[in-house]
Amino acid sequence: MSRLESFRQRFAGAGVYVFIAGTLLGLYALIGTGMVVYTHAATADRITANERDATLRAIATVLPRSLYDNDPLRDTRTLVEPKWLGTSTPEVVYRARRQGKPAAAVFSAVAPDGYGGPIRLLVAIAVDGKVLGVRVVSQQETPGLGDAIDASHSSWAMGFAGRRLGDPPLDRWKVKRDGGVFDQFTGATITPRAVVKAVKNTLLYYRAHKDELFGKHPHEVRPS
């Protein structure tokens, strides 16, 4: 056998090997992609249900179930550029009704000036403007100090329940150190100051947009 013929045979054998290897890799990739697609399809409904349950549990911490008989997750409004709520991105407000009449609104608000960064809140406001509850959804405050805003660490946030604009007067919606009525924490004033301001701003937003928020026809609410 000539050297040329031997080279051709080796090249052909290598080509077959490359072809087989490429085919197998393609097959494995196809199977892997199929498994990912199948897994996503099989778990999508479960993930959606879990997210819904988590949102309902969060809402339940600020909104008494006895106040409404609708599904707040389906009765929502998108707030466009709600700067009073501490953010420039669209936020969702969940509307609670009883026998078709407005009962309360649950806002996603942000205290942008927390000590450790933005603090996300849920603020529930009754139709008459009274705060039903405030809970921290996420925060990065100093453990043992600023994180006392979280209901899992103290009852501080529960002090907003029953308050409204005028109770206290608007100029006293501050921590005591600043001449207001709300407690601060020893060694941590910035955090509660940010939350008090965020709750006050949410009340101001609600007062300015109450009629739009509970309108019958869905549309985006823009700040005045």
| 113 and 142 share one domain | yes
| Domain limit, last residue, from 60, 79, 110 | 60
| 160 and 73 share one domain | yes
Q: Tell me, what's the pLDDT at 34?
A: 62
Per-residue model confidence as pLDDT tens digits over 72-83: 989 998 887 677
| 15 and 77 share one domain | no
| 48 and 75 share one domain | no
| 52 and 160 share one domain | no
- Token representation of residue 54: 């988590």
Banded model confidence at residue 10, pLDDT cuts 50, 70, 90: low
Assigned domain for 174 exists: yes
| 111 and 175 share one domain | yes
| 53 and 74 share one domain | no
Q: How many CB atoms lie within 10 A of CB 214?
A: 17
- Token representation of residue 98: 């009883």
| 101 and 185 share one domain | yes
Assigned domain for 105 exists: yes
| 37 and 88 share one domain | no
| 93 and 161 share one domain | yes
d(CA 193, CA 58): 23
Assigned domain for 223 exists: no
Mean pLDDT, rounded, for 27-55: 62
Per-residue model confidence as pLDDT tens digits over 66-115: 999 999 989 998 887 677 778 778 888 999 999 999 999 999 889 999 88
Full domain range(s) for residue 32? 1-60
Residue 221 has what DSSP assignment?
B
